[in-house]
Structure 1
Amino acid sequence: MIFIFLIFFSLVLEAQNANELFSKANNLYKNGEYSKAIELYSAIEKQGLESDELFFNLGNSYYKLNKVAPSIYYYEKALKINPSNEDALTNLSFAKRMTIDVIEDLPKTFLQRFSTNIIQKLSFDTWATIAVVSSFLVAVLFLLYYFSFSSKKKLVYFNTTIFTAFVLIISVFFGYNNYKTVKNNRVAIIFVPKVEIKNAPSTNSDEVFVLHEGTKVIILDELDNWKKIKIADGKIGWIYADDLKEI
């Protein structure tokens, strides 16, 4: 019991410390002291604490300092936690205007557009919450249907049970799909001003194209200190691992 109490007490102190740091960092940001605000926000991040608000504020601080890659990186991290964060989406679009590379996306299929516009709009935690609530409602509605003596009420409870069960199945499917997409889709941001992308994981290999700071890439594979990447227009190549930062 003493051990559990000590753990709980340390967690409370850590949360209070994080809240104090967050409040101080916000005040520094409001006063235009962006570098100092970044130091405090980063101190919270180093504690292993994550939230879309924390990463959004970090993105804003770096944006104010005209640091392209870090601002895009943290806006993307905020959206990874909360895809429906409209402020992060808006500010990300502004930050992307500072990038040099203009890359056109490949045309998406109907299923890809559906996944982006519907399934990925909510985090898998949100879909899981919807599934849990739906399962609870299914159980309650079924009991109401089972113990009801009125035929009209039975019909209403039966239909609502079927509908809620459908919502449960859809939310579980969407949540799993979202989780699998997020885990398998390894995304990174270029963190150097300019980098040559090679056709093989070697410094002696040929250059296939060039990328600049702030460009978003997908990691396909890795070998030693090299990572195989793909950009939005479908081009593929190898980059030195230290030249990018995975979200």
Structure 2
Amino acid sequence: MKNLILSIVLLFNLVAFSQTPNKIFDEANNLYKNGKYNKAIELYLSIEKQGVASDDLYFNLGNCYYKLNKVAPSIYYYEKALKLNPVHEDANSNLAFAKRMTIDVIEELPKTFFQRFSANIIQKLPFDTWAIIAVIASFLVTMMFLLYYFSLGTRKKFLFFNGSILAAFIMVVSTFFAFNNYKTVQKNRTAIIYKQKVEIKNAPTKISEEVFELHEGTKVIILDELDDWKKIKIADGKIGWMPSTGLKEI
């Protein structure tokens, strides 16, 4: 009897805890609708501190910061939303508006065919989505082969055989896309400049020469780190070192 009561209490607590983020999210949404952006941010951030990762949560945070004209945080959270869901149309659209508030005008280096293909096709879906597609395709391969093996008619055999070949092709391609996407995500550590102005040095020391400067909201790629310094690269190919405190990794 005692164990039963403890189990019921534990289950109740788990259910209550799972509902809390949703209730807080709804309350934050109402605050946002009423223009109380700072209070909405506090609630959204409290959800994030619970370990909840959601593209809608990050998107709403980006909207709040955008309404308050806070460049770096708005871009940071739009980018986080897109990292979870690359096809989030509203996040893509609002990110374009937020970037107009940045000072730095950086021309991107020309991309190779494979880089364009990766950005427009492979990176459009998260790697776990490609992995799910690969698993489903492998299941279809097995089913199609069994149907081919046990079917009697020539027409059916032809249909199931070609179906298994197509499913196998999709499985191989989606598996490749999943691994490629995963390696790209792991390799490309990106961050947003959070300080109004940062001096980029040619070495990880305060006395080293300044090579260029960046301003809040600019997106960079982290190449390396040493003590309290990070080696970064921007879209036009320029590379330098900056203090870790000046940026926030996505």
Class of the TM-score when normalised by the shorter of the 2 chains? over 0.9
Q: Distance in 1 between matches of 2:16 and 2:141?
A: 40
Q: Secondary structure at the match of 1:201?
A: coil
- TM-score (structure 2 length as normaliser): 0.95
Q: Return the offset for 1:133.
A: 1.1
Out of 110, 113, 138, the position equivalent to 2:113 is 110
1:62 to 62, 65, 70: 65
- Aligned residue in 2 for 1:184: 187
Amino acid at match of 2:187: N
Partner AA of 1:189 in structure 2: I
Counterpart of 1:57 in 2: which secondary structure?
Answer: helix
Q: Look up the match of 1:132.
A: 135
* Distance in 1 between residues matched to 2:232 and 2:95, nearest whole Å: 21
TM-score, normalised relative to structure 1: 0.97
Q: Of the candidates 145, 151, 154, which is equivalent to residue 151 of structure 1?
A: 154
Residue by residue, what CA displacement relative to the aligned partner does 1:78-107 show, whole Å, maximum 9, x if unpaired? Answer: 000000111100000000000000000000
C-alpha change, 1:9 and 1:164, in structure 2 (3 Å) is farther
What one-letter code is carried by the residue in structure 2 that aligns with 1:164? A
Deviations 1:156-183, CA, capped at 9 Å, x for gaps: 0000100001000100110110011001
Q: 1:156 to 1:23 in 2, by over 3 A?
A: same
**Match for residue 168 of structure 1?**
171
- The separation in 1 between residues aligned to 2:9 and 2:244, in whole angstroms, is 41
Q: Does 1:232 align with 2:235?
A: yes
Counterpart among 94, 97, 113 of residue 97 in structure 2: 94
| Pick aligned residue for 2:31 from 23, 28, 32 | 28
Q: Amino acid of the residue matched to residue 169 of structure 1?
A: V
Judged with a 3 Å threshold, the aligned counterparts in structure 2 of structure 1 residues 6 and 223 are, in CA distance, closer, same or farther, namely farther
Q: How many residues align?
A: 247
- Secondary structure, in 3 states, of the residue corresponding to 2:206? coil
Aligned to 2:43: 40
Alignment partners' CA distance in 2, 1:29 and 1:97: 23
Aligned counterparts of 2:79 and 2:60: Cα–Cα separation in 1: 12
1:193-236 superposed Cα distances (whole Å, 9 cap, x missing partner): 00100110001111000100000000000000000000000000
- 1:201 paired with 2:225, answer no
Amino acid at match of 1:159: N
Comparing 207-216 with 140-149, which one deviates more in the overlay?
A: 140-149
Distance 1:26 1:75 in 2: 17
Aligned mates of 2:93, 2:157 — CA distance in 1 = 48
> Runs of 5+ in structure 2 lacking a partner?
none
Aligned-pair identity (%): 68
Q: Which moved more, 1:138-147 or 1:196-205?
A: 138-147
SS of match in other structure, 2:207: coil
**Of residues 198, 213, 226 in structure 2, which corresponds to 1:223?**
226
- Structure 2 CA distance, aligned partners of 1:167 and 1:66? 45
RMSD: 1.5
- Cα separation, 2, equivalents of 1:55 and 1:87: 12
Q: For residues 88 and 45 of structure 1, what CA distance do their matches in structure 2 show?
A: 18
Structure 1 position 143, deviation (Å): 1.1
The residue type equivalent to 1:230 in the other structure is K
- Give the partner amino acid of 2:53: E
Please, which runs of 5 or more residues in structure 1 have no aligned partner? Answer: none
Residue equivalent to 1:242: 245
Which of the residues 52, 55, 61 maps onto 2:55? 52
